Structures are given as structure tokens and as C-alpha cells.
Copies of this chain bind each other. A is one copy, B any other.
Amino acid sequence: MKGEFEFIEELKRSFGAPGGVLGIGDDCAVIPVGGDDMLVSTDMMMEGTHFIMDRISPYQLGWKSAASSFSDIAAMGGAPVGAFLALSIPSGLRDSWTDGFMGGFGDVSREYGFPLLGGDTTASPDRVSVCVTVLGKAPHGQCKRRDAARPGDLVCVTGTLGDSAAGLDVVLNGRDLTEAARALVDRHYLPRPRIREGIALAGCGGVHAMMDISDGIGSDLRRIMEASGVGFSIDTGRIPMSGELASYCRACGSDPYDFAVGGGEDYELLFTVAPGIEAPVAHTVIGRTVEGNSIVWNGSDKDFVGFDHFKGR
């Protein structure tokens, strides 16, 4: 069976977007309408693949399915317009489950300004399936894409990395819910999309490429590399990590870099900015873009992430 990336590449080839429209391949599609650009993204979460019912509360699932989608709008610097929810649920599921789900969905929607504008509710024979479509907007030509990094840019991230993956580790391994562990679990289940920061960065001309960190910085740098045709030199020592992550890793003897470099779902922003330009949001510089098409970690051309470091190959 084709992999997801192969399938997407095929679709990109067979479904060209019309002139002026950015179609398949970035965090959102970008569609010029009037003097604005509409940003649109859709994401599906399937029970048994993306979540297990007895490991996530309905409130957390509602929050996370909305927040992770909003993050796609943040990733390009869009302002919120609205959300659409398609929900397929087994008839045996209690109303309290649906109320919990909509509670989480509603809380994050209101907090970040994405009103629920429509959707579809249907019966499912067994599993829950959730599809969230989000709309954002930006002044025409202003949103940030993955393909705009230039050699010599500084590579920056917002917030701290690894908390979400460590939170999942807490859950999967049934670790003690210390204060630090609890904070990490919240980062995993109740992520906070960087909408405000994305809008500020989109308004800054010196910011070139941008995306959100959903698969882990190792994979996500690669996306910018492939789209922009630049390489990266990253100093892992500068990757920002939270006190909670440090404390959790000390207590259980884990390597925080496993979470911070290899772990996904942080929903922080990854962006490149021209040297000499001060990005208008709190951020950490973790490296530079360079000529070429490889990622150099701490001066070595050995692949730090995903392969050598974590799987020993």
C-alpha cells in the first residue's frame, strides 16, 4: 500500500491548483478571495489510530482535535475565521460523552476565536471519527509558507519542545502524576495553538518560512528543507526545554532530547528569519539555514534525529 507521502505527491501531480491558489502541500491551502487570503485546513482523527477511548477524556479529545487544527492556521500566520466539525459516533455512546467532547471543543474554540460555523453529525457502526476543518484569513500575500526559507536565515522556535511527547510517555507508562508530570500530560492533551504569535510573525517581513511543529522538529525541519531547498545547521544545545521536562526526565532517567527533538505534537511555531531582524514574539534561535539539502546537528553531518539517534540506524 502507498504511504501517506507518496499518496499526497500523486494527488499534487494530478490535481493542480488554479492560478494564484496554494493547494496541497503546506499547512493550509491559501485561496485569494476579495483582497484577502482564505486559509483552509482539514484533519481527521480516527479512534484506534489517533486515540484510544479509555486513554483520553471526551473533553480532552474535543479540545485536542480543535486545537491541533487551529495550529495549522497559526502555522501560516492566519487570523481565526471559524471551524467546521464532522463527527461520526456509535449510537451506544452516552450523551455525556458528546457533551464532554463539545465542552472541550467549545472551550478552545471560544478561547482562540474560532466559532463553530457548521458540520455534520452521523452514526458510526463502532468507532468515533472526528474531522475538523478550520478557516483563517490573512491580508493577501502575507501568510508564511514552508518554501520561503533563504540561506543564512536564523532558525527559531516559540515556547519549549518535548513536553507533549513526554506527557504521552507519562500516560503510556503509567508514571506517577507528579506536578511536573501533570503539566506535561496537559501539554499533550490540551495543546495551545500559537495563533497570536503566528499573526505577529506573519506581519514581519523579515520572517521567511514558517510552520507548526506537529511531527517533531526533526521531521518538520525536513519539510522546510524540501520545500525551500535549503539545509540546516542546528545546535541541539539551544533547543528550549521546560523545567517540567527536565524534572520528569531526571526522575525517570530519560533523555530529554528524545522528547524535544524526536517527539511531536508540541504545536509550537518553527520559523526562519533574516539575520538582523528581531522577530516580534518570544522565541529561541536554535540554528541557521545553510546552502545544501541536509540537516547538520551540532556540526556533524550524521543524522541526529529519527534514524541514527533514536532507532540506531
Contacts and interface: CB of A to CB of B under 8 A. Distances in A.
A40 interface: yes
Nearest to A50: B122
A69 to B, nearest CB: 10
B116 A23 contact: yes
Contact of A24 (B2, B21, B36, B118): B118
B115 A18 contact: yes
A46 B88 contact: yes
Interface in A1-59: 1-2, 4, 7-8, 11, 14-18, 21, 23-24, 28-29, 31, 33-36, 38, 40-50
Nearest to A8: B121
Interface in A72-113: 81-82, 84-88, 91-95, 98, 102, 106, 109
B95 A2 contact: yes
Contacts of A43: 86, 120
Interface stretch (A123-131, A144-152, A165-173, A257-265): A123-131
B115 A23 contact: yes
Given A24-B118, A46-B88, 16 more contacts: A2-B98, A7-B121, A11-B119, A29-B118, A31-B135, A33-B81, A34-B36, A41-B84, A41-B118, A44-B87, A47-B125, A49-B122, A49-B125, A50-B122, A84-B133, A131-B131
A251 interface: no
A87 B17 CA distance: 19
A19 to B, nearest CB: 11
B24 A117 contact: yes
Contact of A44 (B47, B120, B126): B120
A137 interface: yes
Contacts of A116: 11, 15, 23-24
A42 to B, nearest CB: 4
A4 to B, nearest CB: 5
Contact residues on A (Cβ < 8 Å of other chain), bracket: 35 or more
B82 A29 contact: yes
Contacts of A87: 44
Contact of A117 (B31, B45, B131): B31
A118 B11 CA distance: 9
Given A2-B95, A49-B88, A129-B129, A102 B42 contact: no
12 contacts: A17-B117, A21-B82, A21-B115, A21-B117, A29-B118, A31-B135, A34-B34, A42-B119, A44-B86, A48-B124, A49-B124, A125-B127
Nearest to A16: B115
A56 to B, nearest CB: 16
A133 B35 contact: no
Contacts of A8: 121
A188 to B, nearest CB: 19
A273 to B, nearest CB: 26
